[in-house]
Structure 1
Amino acid sequence: MALVKIIWVDDEIESLQSQKLFLENKGYEVQTFTNGFDAIDYVKENHVDVVLIDESMPGITGLETLAKIKEMKQSLPVVLITKNETENLMDEAIGSQISDYLIKPVNPNQVWLSLKKIIDNKRLVAEKTTTAYQQQFRHLFMALNSNPDYNEWMDIYKKLVYWELEMQKSDSPEMQEVLQSQKGEANTEFFKFVSRNYASWINPKSGDGPVMSHSLVQFKVLPHIEKGTPLFFVLIDNLRFDQWRAIQPIFAESFRILEEDSFYSILPTATQYARNAIFAGMLPMEIEKKFPQQWKNDDEEGGKNLHEEEFFRAQLKRFGKGDLKVSYTKVLNNHAGLELMNNIHNLLNNDINVIVYNFVDMLSHARTEMEVLKELAGDEMSYRSITTSWFEHSPLHQALKKIADKNIRIVLATDHGSVRVKTPYKVIGDKQTTTNLRYKHGRNLNYEQKEVLAYREPKEIGLPSPTINSSFIFAKEDGFLCYPNNYNHYVNYYRNTFQHGGVSLEEMIVPVIKMESKG
């Protein structure tokens, strides 16, 4: 193993020779300097693992040296050593991103422990994560095989997401592979579970089923409306549970997270069905009956989500909330995002403000079309990372931060998630068959029974029949549906892209989060 290289900067370095020897006996290579200028020159030209800096030195102070080093190598860990315990110095040091802070006089063990914490932290966390997951693996395996109900499935999926995010800290490709294989197995079982139970959830006579798209507003939004406390119902399109977990710390800086819940998206897990169902509080079949002019099937011309505000106001009226002051904002591009940011204070006069934000959906579609995004979001980890980076700098985040000090509530949700597709399945259909990769409907669909979830009667699952004898099929697990003509081209083009519309944990079990301002 390569020696860990330390530089120690102190104008009284001669008096620290015993400390230097102690660290060298522990296997570190230690280079010493008596002033900040020499240390800065050295860091510029050489590889260094950790810098130890004395704060009060003649010529250039420790904090000034730290700033220059961070300009060159931002991620280089720096430990500040000082006699001075004043609060403003500590604030300044911590603001300058130091890795640790030691008060003089320091003993050798103190320095050694600090270095160990910085250098070995990643390895120790990775080892602990791997061991903890190995212990959990069996529990998850047993949970999967004990016929879980819809609530237990939500717990299983949350645990898998938790371990997937924890495994990012681990350097063990083997354990990550084990987790991915367990996730695949979970999706296989989940598909069987949904196939057995979905129609009964949709049938109101059954009386038992999870909160789904069409009951989301009734059970997860309306109960939190209170006169005098504006409620923001923020719907980020196509946000998976793991992506929520990735942006959760950013929300937690400004808001108190009261409840981290999930619900089931209806099938197809696609915007036009799931989001209209959320705002109308009805299944697509009922929307088509009640709003025949507004509902558009896949094969019809025109926008499919143009009437959400109208649907939402009608739903409020149905629940006796028609007198509420409501605003509805849809953000489809950056310009609309900036308008929201500038206008956010005016929304504080309303009882409920709906904000629909379309970025994540655009990202998943653009990722399919653009090679550069395929490179940037090649897997779940990088997809989460792009989502986090987007949210942190988004007008939505800036807008919410502007009102974080006001007495407000937020319910954040999505319409559906997405899944990275890998396995192609052949489907044959006539000209009227839809082009979606995770679900299709048409009259003469030809498919392999075991590869899809099929419903010959769309009304059985609350869907309209676009044509007589139309049936719906939904892709399972990580499958995607391709036509035989030009088959290989489409398989290669779409494999490893994020798609939605079908049956998977990632598409169906999605976040609904309740937050309030910290004030």
Structure 2
Amino acid sequence: MNVKILWVDDEIELLKPHLLFLQNKGYEVETSNNGYDAIEMVQQKPFDLIILDEMMPGMTGLETLPRIKSFAPTTPVVMVTKSEEENIMDRAVGSKIADYLIKPVNPNQVLLSIKKNVHQQQLVSEKSTADYRSDFGKISVALSDARTFAQWTDVYRKLVQWDIELSESSDSSVREILSYQFKEANDLYARFVKNNYLGWFDDTDPERPVLSHTLLRQRLFPVVDKSKKTTFLLIDNFRYDQWLMIRPLLHNHFDVASEEFYCAILPTATQYARNALFAGLTPLAISKLMPDLWLNDNQEGGKNRYEEDFLKRQLQQFGKPYRMSFDKLIRPEQGKKLLENIDRLSNADLSVVVYNFLDILSHARTESEIIRELAEEEVAFRSLTRSWFEHSDLWEIMKQLSGRGHTIVVTSDHGTIRVDNPVKVIGDRETSPNLRYKSGRNLNYDPKQVFAITKPEEAHLPKSNLTSTYIFAYDHDFLVYPNNFNQHVRYYKNTFQHGGISMEEMMVPYIVLNPK
């Protein structure tokens, strides 16, 4: 499709060399020597870009600009002027021009402005595609060389960044290549976890990652000790790609002091990972030391009702006499109420906020056709996350805390992954219902398709009976019983789940934000 340009200048006859230059480059250029005619032309036909002289007799460019914008609000306008006065530039920028050129302009300047404002998305897409194809081999080598959790997080970080950058690429083949490489990475990562996970509970292993139950004492408490005020913000189901979507919004209020990962324990589910995080203990230790506060999968009742109690015990255990506040936000009105009582957070040395919106959104996406359409896949889900955050009470809380000098630590208890491949498992009535892991005593499964832990104590997991086994799904698999198999597959396929083994679930972002 030919790009149509309107050039408005009272000395348009002197610009014929520029016009011929653009026409030779394949652009269709129409001209006008005054603002009145230009407005009429814009009313009659669409243009892809308008070049507008600022200093014209009769109606100036700055006077013409808002009239043009009223008829073509999305058309980029490039302002050209002889004046370098700052107030004219400010007025032009305030009128939402796309670019600003100072006379005399040369043809290449004009061409660059056109490319930037008309072809930018195409050029960026082409460059991103070429850059990823070049980086593909390096990522493949990194996959085969990864031997530690830290090396795996480097691979994951790179793949997520490419996933975001290529999400708007018009080249479907390169997106498909990235999808295959991401799947290969998750397959190899699952093998890595299977071979190394049990060893990570050995305190003498120098390469073991920070795990859920060691996170606060290894990462958070040193931050609180150094900062006057710290807010620990745990967003359930929060992934690294979602963090990258909201990071640009924070620029005016926070500096990113660090951006790291820790490893969520298995199962990557709230009952296990979040309780371990706040208790500073493995699930097995919690069940032994505080049996009245722990419920196994097959027991009725809320599985994460005692997080504040767990945290208080951990603070006492490590001699941290912080003044603390603890808020768990599940319903929208709770966020508004916390905003009204922001002083309570400000008066604490350590304020903890658990925000459950993304978990609720994931479940709503499973149960609601409308939400499923709005967040059909990762790109849409990321966009929905950003939109929610930008208009949320949580963002307002963070801005107010920044103004009060709070350091904010942002993390999650686990991530989530979109599942699409059903794996059959047989279990009795006591078997846990989670789609990414199962625990029970009579599990029948293909050992090649899952990571099975037949001795739960080796993974520091409690067991409800003497023969309890845990099995975990890999990659994009989800565990389904043979009964009503097709019905469950239709219902759960392409939904976001957690509890199993994947980079998205286990590699949890840990962000430290310093107030500006």
Q: TM-score range by the shorter chain?
A: over 0.9
* Alpha-carbon distance in 1 for matches of 2:314, 2:155: 32
Measure the CA separation in 2 of the matches of 1:343 and 1:11. Answer: 60
Q: Contact 2:416 / 2:498 at 8 angstroms: preserved in 1?
A: yes
2:108 aligned residue: 109
Q: Cα distance, 1:516 vs. partner?
A: 0.4
Could you say which residue in structure 2 is the equivalent of 1:188? 187
CA apart distance, 1:397: 1.1
Structure 2 match to 1:199: 198
Map of 1:238 onto structure 2: 237
**2:304 match:** 305
Q: In structure 1, what is the equivalent of residue 511 of structure 2?
A: 513
Counterparts of 1:361 and 1:69, CA distance in 2: 46
Tell me the residue number matched to 2:211: 212
Preserved CA contact (<8 Å) 1:422 1:495:
yes
CA distance change for structure 1 residues 227 and 211 in 2, over 3 Å: closer, same or farther? closer
Structure 1 pair 17–157 and aligned structure 2 pair: CA distance change class (3 A): same
Matches within 5 A, 1:342-353: 342-353=340-351
Q: CA separation of 1:343/1:53 partners in 2, compared to 1, >3 Å: closer, same or farther? A: farther
| Alpha-carbon distance between aligned partners in 1 of 2:58 and 2:291, rounded to the nearest angstrom | 79
Distance in 1 between residues matched to 2:239 and 2:73, nearest whole Å: 32
Matched, 1:426 2:424: yes
Separation in structure 2 between the aligned mates of residue 112 and residue 169 of structure 1, nearest angstrom: 24
Identify which range, 135-144 or 294-303, moves more after superposition: 294-303
2:142 pairs with 1:143: yes
Gaps of 5+ in 1: none
Amino acid paired to 2:416: S
* CA deviation profile, 1:169-220 (whole Å, cap 9, x unmatched): 5322111111111111111110111011111112446565100111111111
State the shift of 1:21 in Å. 3.3
CA contact 1:227–1:351 (8 Å) conserved in 2: no
Deviation at 1:88, TM superposition (A): 3.7
Alpha carbons 1:213, 1:278 under 8 Å: kept: yes
SS at match of 1:81: strand
Contact 2:325 2:344 in 1 (8 A): no
Aligned to 2:362: 364
Amino-acid identity (%): 49
* TM-aligned CA distance change 1:479 to 1:38, over 3 Å: farther
Q: Which moved more, 1:389-398 or 1:163-172?
A: 163-172
Matched with 1:127 is: 126
Structure 2: gaps (5+ residues): none
Pairwise CA distance, 1:118? 2.1
Instruction: Kindly tell me the number of residue pairs found equivalent between the two proteins.
Output: 516
Measured in 2, the distance between the counterparts of 1:303 and 1:37 equals 70
1:288: Cα distance to partner?
Answer: 1.8
Aligned to 1:394: 392
- Secondary structure of 1:133's counterpart equals helix
Q: Deviations over 1:387-411 (max 9, x none)?
A: 1111111111122122323332111
Matched AA of 1:365: H
Pairwise CA distance, 1:305: 1.8
Shift of 1:360: 1.2
In structure 2, the CA distance between the partners of 1:158 and 1:147, relative to structure 1 (3 Å rule), is: closer
Q: Quick one: which of 484, 498, 501 aligns to 2:499?
A: 501
TM-score between the two structures when normalised by the length of structure 2? 0.94
| More displaced 10-residue stretch of structure 1: 261-270 or 245-254 | 245-254
Change in 2 beyond 3 A, CA 1:227/1:65: same
3-state DSSP of counterpart to 2:4: strand
Contact kept? 1:125, 1:169, Cα under 8 Å = no
Greater Cα offset, 380-389 or 283-292 = 283-292
**Equivalent AA in structure 2 for residue 296 of structure 1:** L
Q: Bigger shift: 347-356 or 497-506?
A: 347-356
Going from structure 1 to structure 2, the CA distance change for 1:103 and 1:303 (only over 3 Å counts) comes to same
Task: Tell me, in whole angstroms, the C-alpha distance in 1 between the residues paired with 2:284 and 2:12.
Answer: 79
Structure 1 residues 373 and 63: CA distance shift in structure 2, 3 A: farther
> Cα 1:232–1:128, aligned 2, differ >3 Å: closer, same or farther?
same
Tell me: CA distance 1:109–1:151, structure 2 relative to 1, closer, same or farther (3 Å).
closer
Q: CA-atom RMSD, angstroms? A: 2.2
